[in-house]
Structure 1
């Protein structure tokens, strides 16, 4: 199935021009794609939920809708964790916000030279070339998994499906929570953490390993971390400082 390409911009003139430029470059680089016929956030999310991904998303940050581009990107991440998000915006000053929102953008294209093909097309081409190369890598790489043998149980879970792992206090046991269910395994959490890459998991908590892609919100004052499956994890102020320090290094 071809990947979907979404262009979400509430300015019709700009959206049509972007569509012309982006599709021309997609064709030139021989992408196998379908242009999504929607741009409004609610419609985009409806289509994303029904697609397999990874898809490509060109999002304007300042959408005059109930949901802005950064919020839309955060919602997209719940359904398409490997998708390619490119912000296209006149608001260059909001670049730090796109990073702190944990949407993992592939690129940021300024609208400063909108309608100037000579300046704008190379920016689109560069980001699409990066995506093209990453798609090749994704196809070549096996799906990363967590493989554990616990007694008679052989557990093999896709890393992207794991929400968090929690140490069961007093026992050499860990609870692994995925998008759909939870597993109890007789393994030390430290043994499990060794298989969880720091690029996607925060392993610095003593009793938890948390999938960074599954974090929805963090309240550092209250020590609360809300996860994509609806669970809320509670930490002391001293402990949550470790997560704050991690995000500060990413800015």
Structure 2
């Protein structure tokens, strides 16, 4: 998680950096304090990172866009991020709502440089963010759920190495870290549930968890999996996997 403090007044920004970092440490956040504070730099950093992040934004930024406009653009890349306005312009609060930036809180600059009054405001907002983060992290891990006859099978997606179509039958073999299952389901039906995690679904007869791939020999068409299985593909088929990896470089 990155923490951004965007304020064009350097003395205020540096003071906020110290105050906010101290409270983040005291509340045991796992974070990185971002150096970017100008709108363009903030957005460039957000695009290259994974959220949710925390943003302390001055509404009246004397830059190409103000804090509210910056928050609106942030929402395009980090919809679950926590936006906190730090401002002297309390009268602009309604505008932050009409812009649908979904702020987590407002901190008034009236008490800027008064540690005894300012720190409790920062701490209160961070405590709210910490509670909401705990709920986000408590979301159940994605699973594959299969009803096959009398069998109800639920497998964590992260435990699956690959799924293999059994030719001639409307049946699929699901290989996990610990065992394999034969289910009477079409592979394409199973692939429809493999949209999260790191699955490659472009092979006609296989779905691969790329996090479980150890090595790929594109010349021989061999894919070696974490459990020791070696899957073989034709040169024409393996090209699809090569093309995917090339897009990730």
- Is TM-score (shorter-chain normalized) higher than 0.5? yes
- 1:30 is aligned to 28
Whichever of the two has the greater Rg, that structure is: 2
The TM-score, its normalising length taken from structure 1, stands at: 0.57
The gaps in structure 1 that reach 5 residues or longer are 159-251
Q: Kindly report which structure 2 residues correspond to 1:159-238, keeping only aligned pairs within 5 A, or say none.
A: none
Residues 60, 25 of structure 1: alpha-carbon distance in 2 compared, 3 angstrom cutoff = same
Q: Deviations over 1:28-67 (max 9, x none)?
A: 0010000001100000000000001100000000000011
What do the CA deviations read for 1:151-184 (whole angstroms, capped 9, x no partner)? 97674598xxxxxxxxxxxxxxxxxxxxxxxxxx
Equivalence for 2:228:
none
- 1:66 equivalenced with 2:64 (yes/no): yes
- Matched residue of 1:7: which SS? strand
Matched, 1:46 2:51: no
Higher relative contact order (CA 8 A, sep 6+): 1
Partner of 1:18: 16
Query: Of the candidates 5, 11, 28, which is equivalent to residue 3 of structure 2?
Result: 5
Could you list the structure 1 runs, at least 4 aligned residues long, displaced by more than 2 angstroms after superposition. Answer: 142-145, 151-158
CA distance in 1, matches of 2:142, 2:97: 24
Residue 142 of structure 1 deviates from its aligned partner by 3.5
2:126 aligns with one of 123, 128, 144: 128
In structure 1, the residue corresponding to 2:51 is in which secondary structure? coil
1:141 CA drift (Å)? 1.4
Is the counterpart of residue 80 in structure 1 residue 82 in structure 2?
Answer: no
Cα distance, 1:156–1:90 mapped onto 2, change above 3 Å: farther
State the distance in 1 between where 2:194 and 2:132 align: 23
* Structure 2 stretches lacking a partner, 5+ long: 146-185, 196-249
Partner residue, 1:111? 109
Residues 182-230 of structure 1 deviation map (CA, whole Å, 9 limit, x = unaligned): xxxxxxxxxxxxxxxxxxxxxxxxxxxxxxxxxxxxxxxxxxxxxxxxx
Match of 2:111, SS? coil
Q: In structure 2, do the counterparts of structure 1 residues 157 and 116 end up closer, same or farther at CA, with 3 Å as the change threshold?
A: farther
1:116 deviates by: 0.5
SS at match of 2:21: helix
Secondary structure at the counterpart of residue 115 of structure 1: coil
Specify the alignment match of 1:214 in structure 2: none
Match of 2:181 in 1: none
**Equivalent residues in 2 for 1:131-146 (5 A)?**
131-142=129-140
State TM-score, norm by structure 2. 0.58
